Amino acid sequence: MRLQSFIGGTPLLELTTLDIPRHVRIFAKLEFLNPGGSIKDRVVSYILDDAERRGILRSGSTIVENTSGNTGAAIAMLAAMRGYKAILTMPDKVSKEKQNALTAMGADVVVCLTSAPPDSPGHYVATARRVHAETPNSFMLNQYDNPLNAEAHFRSTGPEIWAALGKQISAFVASGSTGGTISGIGRYLRAKNPAIDIVLLDPLGSIYHKYFHQGVVDPGQIAPYHVEGVGEDHLAKCMDFSVLSDVLQFSDADAFATCHHLARSEGLLCGGSSGANVWGAIQLARRMKEPGSIVTVLPDNGVKYISKIYNDEWLVDHEMRPFRDPGTLVPKRD
Ligand code: PMP
């Protein structure tokens, strides 16, 4: 069997240690168990398969993409397996561990300034476009604007969740960057049951929350935050606002405190967006009056963030507590 056949089909685990009302259940899809270590394996294999079928991607091609790391890991893995070259651009806030993993699999990495404005030539998205234009026989996935990104989730992750829980599902909640996850899964679940709430979680410092609630992209809102891979400084075409019921904001501390809770109480060592997703599921659970289940995803593994999220000195340096005292874990309300 090829490595690729192990992409998807991830377990859906009930989280049982969270402080939520008894009539609500929270399930997390363990996307970090994909062979490339994240949810992005699904999207990248789906887009590459399509490009190969259409003959755009062929022997000797170079795959180019802007990526916060997980898409890059999936590209590097699949490029190594299928014999393509890969050139990946990323902002410099991405952990060194993620960068090194890509070069280990043979990809070239171009690190760009996180502070470069979205419309400047030094931004990592503009840099990827330039490299693509300058590299003959290159293929760019264009994950932010490519409808196949959300379609991958519409065809795989969404159906897997529905097959496991069906009518029990009251809500799906997830943070997003390209919007592929929330839009694809959201559209599928909504098509099955229009009553399901689809809730996006947005980090403080990203533009999606204000855009959803007030219809404006406010550059003044853009501020640095430490949860990687989610939130945006520009609108991604893949983000389908029409499928969203609500957008909630979270802080780095919300996400990281929940990460520590998951690690200590559930044995799940996850990345920051997983913490954000479970934090969001908890907020929804506490508002739910009727019995039901909330589903979320755990997009990637915590090993990549040991020097940040799971490092007390780093947390203190970034004005957060070491989240070890049980009192600082997911706080008790009701
Ligand atoms: N979490 C992590 C760690 C990610 O890398 C990404 C993708 N950038 C996401 C969540 C968000 O997924 P999507 O791009 O599908 O919105």
Handedness of CA 183, 91, 249, 40 (dihedral sign): positive
CA nearest ligand 1 atom 2, residue: 229
Pocket mutation for ligand 1, best pick of 89, 95, 225, 230 (most atoms within 8 Å of C-beta): 230
**Predicted pLDDT at 105:** 94
Instruction: Report the relative pairing of strands 24-29 and 108-112 from DSSP bridges.
Output: unpaired
**What's the average model confidence in pLDDT over 104-112?**
95
Is the predicted pLDDT of residue 20 greater than 80, yes or no? yes
- 190 pLDDT band, cuts 50/70/90, is very high
**Predicted pLDDT at 118:** 77
Residue 110, SS3 per DSSP: strand
**Predicted pLDDT at 119:** 85
What is the phi-psi region of residue 222: left when phi exceeds 0, alpha when psi lies from -120 to 50, beta otherwise?
A: beta
Residue indicated by tokens 């802007």? 66
**Separation of CA 181 and ligand 1 centre (Å):** 7
**Separation of CA 39 and ligand 1 centre (Å):** 8
Q: What is the pLDDT of residues 119-171, one digit of tens each?
A: 899 999 899 999 999 999 999 999 999 999 999 999 999 999 999 999 999 99
Euclidean distance between CA atoms 91 and 93, whole angstroms: 6
**Predicted pLDDT at 164:** 98
Who has greater pLDDT, 52 or 1? 52
Q: What is the pLDDT of residues 223-266, one digit of tens each?
A: 999 999 899 988 999 999 999 999 999 999 999 999 999 999 99
Euclidean distance between CA atoms 330 and 255, whole angstroms: 10
Pocket mutation for ligand 1, best pick of 29, 42, 67, 70 (most atoms within 8 Å of C-beta): 70
Pocket mutation for ligand 1, best pick of 175, 199, 298, 303 (most atoms within 8 Å of C-beta): 175
**Predicted pLDDT at 333:** 43
Tokens at 6, concatenated = 């192990």
**SS3 helix, strand, coil % of the chain, rounded to 5?**
45, 20, 40
**Separation of CA 177 and ligand 1 centre (Å):** 5
Ligand 1 atom closest to the CA of 180, numbered from 1: 15
Interface predicted TM-score (ipTM): 0.99
Q: Which CATH class is domain 59-136?
A: alpha beta
Is the predicted pLDDT of residue 208 greater than 60, yes or no? yes
- Beta bridge pairs of residue 87: 64, 108
Looking at the chain, the whole-number percentage of residues with pLDDT higher than 90 is 85
**What's the average model confidence in pLDDT over 27-50?**
97
**Predicted pLDDT at 98:** 79
What is the phi-psi region of residue 229: left when phi exceeds 0, alpha when psi lies from -120 to 50, beta otherwise?
A: left
Ligand 1 atom closest to the CA of 70, numbered from 1: 5
Residue 88, SS3 per DSSP: strand
From the CB of residue 249, how many other CB atoms can be counted at a distance below 10 Å? 18
Is the predicted pLDDT of residue 309 greater than 80, yes or no? yes
Which residues lie below 8 Å from residue 214, measured CB to CB, with a gap of 6+?
none
Which residues lie below 8 Å from residue 126, measured CB to CB, with a gap of 6+?
119, 120
Euclidean distance between CA atoms 118 and 149, whole angstroms: 21
Q: What is the mean pLDDT of the chain?
A: 93
Contact between 97 and 89 (Cβ < 8 Å):
no
Which residues lie below 8 Å from residue 216, measured CB to CB, with a gap of 6+?
210
> Does this chain's domain 3-34+147-309 share its CATH topology with 59-136?
yes
Domain boundaries along the sequence of the chain: 3-34+147-309, 59-136
**Separation of CA 180 and ligand 1 centre (Å):** 8
Euclidean distance between CA atoms 323 and 282, whole angstroms: 18
Residues annotated catalytic, as ranges: 40
> Pocket residues for ligand 1 (CB within 6 Å)?
68, 70, 175-181, 228-230, 271, 273, 299-300
- 334 pLDDT band, cuts 50/70/90, is very low
**Predicted pLDDT at 326:** 52
**Predicted pLDDT at 331:** 45
- For the entire predicted model, the pTM comes to 0.93
**What's the average model confidence in pLDDT over 9-14?**
98
Ligand 1 atom closest to the CA of 40, numbered from 1: 7
**Predicted pLDDT at 332:** 45
Ligand 1 atom closest to the CA of 273, numbered from 1: 1
Least confident of 66-70, 89-93, 275-279, 293-297: 66-70
CA nearest ligand 1 atom 5, residue: 229
What length does the chain have?
Answer: 334
From the CB of residue 254, how many other CB atoms can be counted at a distance below 10 Å? 24
Looking at the chain, the whole-number percentage of residues with pLDDT higher than 70 is 97
Q: What is the CATH number of domain 3-34+147-309?
A: 3.40.50.1100
